[in-house]
Amino acid sequence: MSEMIYRRLADHLDRLPGGFAPSTTGAEIPLLQHLFAPDEADLAAYLTLNREPVDVIAARAGLPTPEATQRLERMAQKGLVFSVNEAERKLYSAAPWIVGIYEFQINNLTPAFREVLFDYWGSIAPRDRPTTIPQMRTVPVHESVEMSLEALPYEQVYQLVNASDRYAVAPCICRKQAQLSDRGCDAPLETCLMFDDWADFYVDGGRGRAIDRDEVMAILAKADEHNLVLQPSNSKDAAAICCCCGCCCGILGGLKQQPRPADTVASAFIAQLDADLCISCWTCLDRCQMGALSEGDAHVEFDAGRCIGCGLCVTTCPSGALTLTRKPPSDRTLPPDTLVDTWKTIADAQAGANG
């Protein structure tokens, strides 16, 4: 009976954005058993991407409201569901495996958790999934965007920050995981920025600390210094901005394996090279996380198919040989308004592909 509950939860998570791929060895069940108590696993399968009050969820699950309240709050504290305070009441929603439950485990990277996690990740079978919008997108570092580009507000990192009024920062789980495995890099650890509802969720659960706008700007400046790519949620109203390195980040790592990351990433910009201005200083080579730039005979060589438009190469090019330009409209996608809208778009595509 217990395993049936976890199998039902695994199927439920697989229908959420990004899915929860079955393992060839059944390793997904021990992973879920490590995270969810049986009563939590049972209730989690009744949550949707909609933010709902307890009484609605309780009625759907056939539970008394007080019992559902206690169970949901325990699950929110454990990072198994998402919660938000709205109009003096608590609302709860399902969280995808990624981006969601996994990232919420920043305080739970114990040896036991990492063992079941790596057993699962190491036994996922490849499968075809529908092509849809990604959960994250890339925006350029602020200094790389010239006024002539007329970037839209949701394409500018400072505008994304200024649109919010509550902020939090949390450690990057990708870099923390890499450090625990004796690999990774020396980039700053505390670089995951959360806004408004997500900031509240992280602070309330002890996953991050509240910060002000000045510290957000300082973290973004430090990210630029350490060659970190800015990846907000793929929505006009950003829930979070991750500051990512190519060596530890799962999303950038997946992009890097693509023959043409430019065709996969959600980004409005792409770099361009004026070879006549290049002075062969090679400063840009370490800045690029995608290997789009390489050392040529007379100047740097640029592979546009590998460029994700992060702007890191532009801000330190001393001669102005590298600049950003807008992609043509056919190569740009309009982000949904909110992260929930993004999740629903992805989930609908997955459901359509599954019939």
pLDDT digits (tens, 9 = 90+) for 191-246: 999 999 999 999 999 999 999 999 999 999 999 999 999 999 999 999 999 999 99
- Dump pLDDT digits (tens) for 322-338: 999 999 988 888 899 99
- With beta carbons less than 8 A apart as the criterion, state whether 289 and 246 touch: yes
**Residue found under tokens 């980040």:** 249
Predicted local distance difference test score (pLDDT) of residue 130: 67
Predicted local distance difference test score (pLDDT) of residue 152: 63
Binning the chain into helix, strand and coil, the percentages to the nearest 5 are 45, 15, 40
Give pLDDT < 70 ranges for the chain: 1, 129-131, 142-152, 352-355
Predicted local distance difference test score (pLDDT) of residue 133: 87
* Residue 262 CA neighbour count, 13 Å, CB half: 19
Predicted local distance difference test score (pLDDT) of residue 349: 86
Predicted local distance difference test score (pLDDT) of residue 135: 92
Q: Report the predicted TM-score, pTM, of the whole model to 2 decimal places.
A: 0.93
B/e letters for 224-251, b = 16+ CB within 10 Å, e = fewer, are: beebbbbbbbbbbbbbbbbbbbbbbbeb
Predicted local distance difference test score (pLDDT) of residue 86: 87
Cα–Cα distances in angstroms (integers) from residue 319 to residues 66, 70, 281, 314, 326, in the given order: 65, 61, 9, 10, 21
Predicted local distance difference test score (pLDDT) of residue 156: 87
Structural tokens at position 217: 């700007």
Predicted local distance difference test score (pLDDT) of residue 149: 54
Predicted local distance difference test score (pLDDT) of residue 151: 64
Task: List phi, psi (to 5°) of 289.
Answer: -90, -5
Q: Please, what are the domains in the chain?
A: 2-127 (1.10.10.10), 142-256+336-344 (no CATH), 261-331 (3.30.70.20)
